[in-house]
Amino acid sequence: MIQIGEQIPATTLMEYSEVEGNGCSIGPNPVDTKAASAGKTIAVFALPGAFTPTCSAKHVPGYMEAFNELKAAGVDEIWCLSVNDAFVMGAWARDQKTGEKVRMLADGSADFAKATGLTLDLTGRGMGLRSNRYSMLVRDGVVKTLNIEAPGKFEVSDAATLLAQVKAL
C-alpha cells in the first residue's frame, strides 16, 4: 500500500469534459497523474462508486463546501477518484454540480487503485473491484497525508479532516 512520502503512481485517469476549451476536446480526456500533479498541491479523495449514498450525500458535498477554505490553505485542485468510467463520472459531476471546484476523475480499470494498493473487493455485492474510501494530500506528486477508511465507515476521509491536515503542514 502507498505510504506517506511516496510518489503517487504514474497512471492515466479519464475526465469527461462537456465544454471545449484550452485544447480539451469534448468527451473523455486522459489525465496523466504524474504530469497533472507536478508542481501542485492536490486534495485527493477516492470512493467506491459514483451515485452511491454516502459518496453523493456526504463525501462530494463536503469537498464542495470546503472548496474556498482548501484553496485559501494552498490547495490548487481537488480530485475525486472512483472506479467508474468517464461518462458516469461526467454524469455524476453534473448531478453534484461540481463545476470547476472538483475534478471528477475516472479510474475505470482500477489502475490507480491497484497501483496504490487501495482497492476494495465488492464482488460479493455485485460491484467488482473498487477503490477504498480515502483521502490524501499530494504535493508535487508526493503523498503528504493519507486517511484510509475502515470498511463501511466515513470518519477520516472527509473534507474537514483533510483541511485540518493541510493547515497543519
Which residues are the active-site residues? 55
C-alpha–C-alpha distance, residues 138 and 42, integer Å: 5
C-alpha–C-alpha distance, residues 166 and 127, integer Å: 33
Structure-block grid coordinates of residue 22: 484550452
Cross-strand bridge partners of residue 96? none
Cross-strand bridge partners of residue 82? 47, 106
Helix (H) or strand (E) holding 102: none
Give the number of other CB atoms < 10 A from CB of residue 142. Answer: 13
Residue 123 CA neighbour count, 13 Å, CB half: 3
C-alpha–C-alpha distance, residues 161 and 104, integer Å: 20
Give the number of other CB atoms < 10 A from CB of residue 35. Answer: 12
